[in-house]
Amino acid sequence: MPRLPLLLLLLLPLLAAPDAPAPTHAERLGYPPDAKLLLLHADDIGVAHSVNAATFDAFATGRVRSGSVMVPCAWFPEAAAYARAHPDHDLGLHLTLTSEWKHYRWGPVLGAAAAPSLVDSLGFLHATPGAAAAAMHPAAAAPELRAQVERALAFGLHPTHLDSHMGTLFQTPDLFAAYVRVGRDYGLPVFVPREALAAQAPQLLAMLSDDELLVDRLVMAPDGVDPADFDAFYTRAIQTLQPGVTELIVHLAYDDAEMQAVTVDHPAYGATWRQRDFDFFTSPAFDSLRAAHDVHLVTYRELAAARAR
């Protein structure tokens, strides 16, 4: 049999399968290509001791495995101490450019004087994403985001990913570009729900390569869900989960005096809301629901490692 030239031998695998699709996230993690992967993600770590305590207790159950920390908030040092004690946990940064509660407020890590367009007349971060985006100088966001990452690193918290508190960094192309740039500079995945952005802001989605997109879709209980319907809302979300990676954002805390004071006059995502989230997602019933619908829990740490491989 005649010998094939060396170059042809090297090219044969490419010639044999020119249209082979890239492996899915599920396949990279060892699951079937149509597996349903759930990234159950706890937001707002660091806002209050009550949030921290409930989230750390949820992590201890093994049911909630991912979350993100708000660096400008008062209870950030406690969250950082937990991160140092649990370096294998999946903790990201909830990049924060808003301060929404009535009496409990915070300012930028850089300080109000260094970032005047980031703050309101009282020196706190603006209360809503719309107000923040309208007032913020386009060049002011990135330095504050970097300051939050650097502060986390200085406290020994090595984040696995970045996301955006209240979605502020999705408000304008300039803010989104700053978000993506900071993620790339620090080598961190950024939370971007592929399907939602494709439908609502495709110009933002175009700023990222397919390789950078780890999350297919987002589920979060919206403002206005009746308290009596919480369990039904989450049950339906698990029952109807689609193949791919779904991030389900929860807000965990105990319904105690501290959290009631933090969230006064704010029933949406308030103390009782957060207690309901905690109760549902730390229950054996959640385990049974996942098992019945063949849903697998994953983390940003696992997704990023699989992507790198």
Tell me: the pLDDT tens digits for 18-28?
A: 566 778 899 99
- Whether residue 1 has pLDDT greater than 80: no
- Whether residue 172 has pLDDT greater than 50: yes
Could you give the percent of the chain with pLDDT greater than 70? 94
- Whether residue 189 has pLDDT greater than 70: yes
Could you give the percent of the chain with pLDDT greater than 90? 88
**Residue 6 pLDDT level (bands cut at 50, 70, 90):** very low
The packing angle between helices 271-281 and 49-61, to 10°, is 10
Question: Shortest CA distance to 150 belongs to which of 117, 186, 181?
Answer: 186
- What's the pLDDT at 198? 96
Stretch 41-48: mean pLDDT, rounded?
98
Question: Shortest CA distance to 247 belongs to which of 168, 192, 176?
Answer: 192
- Is residue 254 classed as helix, strand or coil in its secondary structure? coil
- Whether residue 72 has pLDDT greater than 80: yes
Q: What one-character-per-residue DSSP string does 271-294 give?
A: HHHHHHHHHHHTSHHHHHHHHHTT
The CB density around residue 267, as the number of other CB atoms within 10 Å, is 13
- What's the pLDDT at 18? 53
- What's the pLDDT at 23? 87
Q: Which pTM does this prediction carry?
A: 0.92
- What's the pLDDT at 50? 98
Stretch 175-179: mean pLDDT, rounded?
98
CB 188 within 8 A of CB 160: yes
